[in-house]
Amino acid sequence: MKIDCSRLCSQANRRVARLAALELVALPSSRRASAFVGCRIRPDLPVMPVRVWSEGLFRHFDNRRQVAAYAGLAPTPWQSGSVDREQGVSKAGNPRLRTTLIQLAWLWVRHQPQSALTLWFEERVKRNGGRLRKTTIVALARKLLVALWKYVTAGVVIEGAAMKTA
């Protein structure tokens, strides 16, 4: 049996578009416009901005620590006497949001090479001798989440980000 890859790809793309539309319909009408605020940032991915909005950015947070904690990207310090260690991220938050943000962070590095966040990431990886890329991408995902939260709530544009024209 011969499989037509192009037909399967187009079917998959239609399903993804339908799922994105269903996620938007589930949002109240007053928030649908806000969901598309994140869509103006490249790369052009139909599902990621909607997922980031519907999984986390539609909620009210008082500060960036609450945003990161909700996504499970908050730092987990450990202290005992004079020993002070960092144990990584808590992973106690929303796993779909965390996974989406890590994927978005990799795409951000690829498609936003002149943004301040990408320059920070590249400098940090270079300082470590090219090691710890995966660990550093999680830190970038946290920074990106906070930057997107500031963009959605206060309209603060991410420094150096290439925006699509509306």
For residue 135, being part of any structural domain is answered with yes
* Count of structural domains within the chain: 1
pTM for this model (two decimals): 0.70
Q: Residues 87-98: pLDDT tens digits?
A: 878 778 889 999
For residue 30, being part of any structural domain is answered with yes
CB neighbour list of residue 5: distance below 8 Å, 6 or more residues apart: none
Q: Which pLDDT does position 165 carry in this prediction?
A: 61
What proportion of the chain, given as a percentage, has pLDDT over 70? 70
The residue segments making up the domain with residue 67 are: 5-154
Contact 104, 97 (CB under 8 A): no
Q: What sign for the dihedral angle of Cα 34, 40, 41, 47?
A: positive
For residue 160, being part of any structural domain is answered with no
Q: Residues 103-150: pLDDT tens digits?
A: 999 999 998 899 999 999 999 999 988 888 999 999 999 999 999 888
Q: Rounded distance, CA 144 to CA 6, Å? A: 34
For residue 26, being part of any structural domain is answered with yes
Q: Rounded distance, CA 25 to CA 114, Å? A: 34
Q: Which pLDDT does position 18 carry in this prediction?
A: 56
